[in-house]
Copies of this chain bind each other. A is one copy, B any other.
């Protein structure tokens, strides 16, 4: 018998603290799950030198239906697919990056979190917003805060090394905040890579750790290759299955080059659920290979796909090699959840907007590799590879071949030029509510 995800799309109610203005999707064991998504109107926009832009600008929101992933580089979304939905309220306000960061730090410190850990989380979230991964930035703040207030995450936790070799460490995150656990582990991996060439650190007892690429970036800053993966709540149906049993399970691989580095940060599902929601709002059919219907067959009906709540793995259906995406999602779970002794597959809890009642116990892996241990001149060769890729004749002359990580750098530049990040009204409402609830200084606008 097929038991699938029940979808709950939470309506957006301005000013209602407990009715989320952003509701992030989660699922858990398909036998008892919810699948809610935040809506497009929650996305920030960015003011560019040409004026205010909305998500149809070059700063494109990445929508997420999962605890993770949703790496949807703007370059891969046509403008039409990111048009604002009819009736969406958009009165964006520009917020200086430092003010956004201050606000997030204040929120965390008011929610059972010491300053140092609050800073770690704020830096993670602001980086996501700056890079254009809006779904993983301020958009998630309320969820983290609710987890802290419900004590399902321990803001004070200090990760502990349980077992160690010169090249490895097994860490217990002790239910700490994702960035706290993640930074601890990647720092350790970096130290080990500097000493013996490779650091391979696995964490159990962790929580949602934001964009996977954040941890790769830490290694890249040190001239190292950085890899990170995490398991997440089930949302992907393995090939041939009617049911979700793996998360969007992202993989991030970053490597430093002479000028700009390479950074792949991708979910192992075909797309994020947010992209299905966009098609649904537009009333347009889904491309093949995005999602399944209740019987486990591929569907192009966005309404049905949204209600069913089972994403296809990368590659789509079996005939287009979806079993490879399934295999990759399983690899992520094995190297993170299974190896770390954390939850995995259908054992991973749901994560709702309102917070969770149980610990997540996510598994994560952080790998740093020192290129100096191999052929000298790594960064120059990577630069040359990038040049070869950039030099390829494009199918559409207006759309040159890009390097993974390139679009994110353009987003960062746009934020700099704009002088800040422009958040949409719903996000601002959520922030105002948080400020009132946590008795902190509301966010100031430029």
* Residues of A participating in the B interface, judged by any CB pair closer than 8 Å: 1-3, 71, 73, 75-76, 78, 163, 165-168, 170, 196-198, 200, 202, 204, 225, 237-243, 245, 253, 255, 262, 264, 266-267, 270-271, 287-290, 292, 295-297, 314-316, 318-321, 323-328, 330-331, 333-335, 338-342, 344-346, 369-371, 373-378, 381-382, 385, 388-389, 392-396, 399-404
Q: Which of A325, A338, A371 has the most CB of B within 10 A?
A: A338
Q: Indicate if the CB atoms of A385 and B330 lie closer than 8 Å.
A: yes
Complex Cα–Cα for A276 and B236 (A)? 28
Contact of A395 among B73, B295, B333 (CB under 8 A): B295
In the bound complex, how far is the Cα of B402 from the Cα of A374, in angstroms? 37
- Name A166's closest neighbour in chain B (CB-CB): B196
Q: Is the CB–CB distance between B320 and A375 below 8 Å? A: no
Shortest CB distance A272–B (Å): 10
Partner among B163, B315, B369 whose Cβ is within 8 Å of the Cβ of A373: B163
Q: List 17 A-B contacts (CB under 8 A).
A: A2-B393, A73-B323, A76-B318, A167-B167, A170-B374, A198-B198, A238-B392, A238-B401, A241-B392, A242-B392, A253-B331, A253-B334, A296-B395, A316-B316, A330-B403, A338-B378, A345-B385
Known contacts A165-B196, A242-B392, then 9 further A-B pairs from the complex at CB < 8 Å, ordered by chain A residue:
A73-B323, A168-B370, A225-B335, A239-B402, A240-B402, A314-B314, A315-B316, A330-B403, A345-B385
With A374-B202, A395-B241 known as contacts, the answer to whether A196 contacts B168 (CB < 8 A) is yes
Q: Report B-chain residues with C-beta under 8 Å of the C-beta of A243.
A: 392-393
A388 to B30, CA, bound (A): 12
Provide the residues of chain B in CB contact with A165, threshold 8 Å: 196-197, 373
Neighbour of A341 across the interface among B327, B338, B377, CB < 8 A: B377
Point out the residues of chain B lying under 8 angstroms from A170, CB to CB. 373-375
Most chain B Cβ neighbours within 10 Å, of A167, A331, A377: A167
Report how far A241 CA is from B393 CA in the complex, Å.
6
Q: Report Cα–Cα, A267/B324, bound state, in Å.
A: 8
Chain B residue contacts of A381, Cβ below 8 A: 338, 341, 344
Interface core residue of A165, A237, A267, A295 (most chain B CB under 10 Å): A165
The interface residues of chain B lying within 8 Å CB-to-CB of A200 are 197-198, 369, 373
Cβ 8 A contact of A240, one of B197, B292, B385, B394: B394
